[in-house]
Amino acid sequence: MQQPISAITAYDYPSARLCDEAGVQLILVGDSLGMVVAGCEDTTSVTLDHMVYHTEMVRRGVTKAVLVSDLPIDTYQTPEMTLESATRLMAAGADAVKLEGGFGQIAKLERLREAKIPVCAHIGMLPQRVKEEGGYKKKGKSEAEAEKLIESAALLEAAGAFAIVLESVVPEVAGAITERIDIPTIGIGAGSQCDGQIRVLHDVIGAYPWFVPPFATVYGNVSDVVKNSVEKYISDI
């Protein structure tokens, strides 16, 4: 079996540079920055200006990995609007953009393909729709939902996506999508049968102790390091 594609989020210069030096293959400037950087409840208050600013920071730290930047909510409502927003992220230094959604996004992907802007798709649980959904829910539990996910993945591939993030998808369905399409699937909370895995940096390094998603494995303890160091500093002066 091939080594899975490794992907992680980063939001600023030092974290991006450290992830790049560690050898991760894809760095996402995720709109999850609304939560783990800005402290908001969800990603729905992130704007294009925020994403441009953070993409510029991350670009300065990345020399090897592919840098993908998220199109935030309400910035890709029509194909032309998608192109305008994506063009700003590319000008800020992204190598590609990511957008959430399936069937409704096909014309937008086609417009980006015409403009030669690479796109990563994102299906399953869509954090930008968390309010309508009433929470973060597993996707693909029913046969109808599973079929819809498989079909939308195939259409997104045909429309030009170079990869698809599968978020909170039932592992067997993620496996079926991975088998069905030729572009890589990159899972988060979607089991091990994807071509790659993506995680939020703060979950991996233990930098956001107030909430850790159930599927996350925490490999570091940055929050303790920060607190202990600052406590030592305070007692030292």
**Residue 198, interface with ligand KIV (CB under 6 A)?**
yes
Please choose, out of 13-21, 23-31, 130-138, 139-147, the segment that lies near ligand KIV by the rule CB under 6 A.
23-31
The Cα-based distances of 73 to 11, 63, 218 in angstroms read 17, 28, 28
Name residues contacting ligand KIV, limited to 45-74 (CB under 6 A): 70
20 binds ligand KIV (CB under 6 A): no
Work out whether 105 is an interface residue with ligand KIV (CB under 6 A): no
100 noted as active-site residue: no
Q: Please tell me the distance from the alpha carbon of residue 86 to that of residue 78, in angstroms, as a whole number.
A: 12
User: Is the CB of 98 or the CB of 111 nearer to ligand KIV?
Assistant: 98
Among 86, 164, 188, 207, binds ligand KIV (CB under 6 A): 188
Q: How far is the CB of 210 from ligand KIV (least distance, A)?
A: 17
- What whole-number distance in Å separates Cα of residue 153 and Cα of residue 180? 9
* Closer of 157 and 167 to ligand KIV (Cβ): 167
**Phi/psi at 124 (5° precision):** 95, -135
CA distance 187 to 235: 44
User: For ligand KIV, which is the closer residue by CB, 27 or 90?
Assistant: 27
Which residue number, 20 or 31, has a Cβ lying nearer to ligand KIV?
31
| Per CB under 6 A, 75 contacts ligand KIV | no
Q: Which of 6, 15, 32, 152 binds ligand KIV (CB under 6 A)?
A: 32
Under the binding rule (CB under 6 A), the answer on residue 26 touching ligand KIV is no
Kindly name the residue from 133, 167, 179, 231 that is annotated as catalytic.
Answer: 167
- Write the DSSP symbol of residue 69: E
Angle at 149 between CA 215 and CA 79, to 5 degrees: 105
Q: What is the total residue count of the chain?
A: 237
Choose one: 27-35, 59-67, 106-114, 213-221; the region binding ligand KIV (CB under 6 A).
27-35
Could you report how far apart the first and last alpha carbons of the chain are, in Å?
A: 54
Cα–Cα distances in angstroms (integers) from residue 47 to residues 6, 42, 147, in the given order: 27, 13, 32
Ramachandran angles phi, psi of 121, nearest 5°: -90, 170
Q: Is 184 in the site for ligand KIV (CB under 6 A)?
A: no
- Any bridge partners for residue 188, and if so which? 167
Distance (Å, rounded) from C-alpha 156 to C-alpha 120?
9
Minimum Å gap between C-beta 224 and ligand KIV is 23
Catalytically annotated residues: 167
Interaction site with ligand KIV (CB under 6 A): 9, 28, 30-32, 70, 165, 167, 188, 198, 200
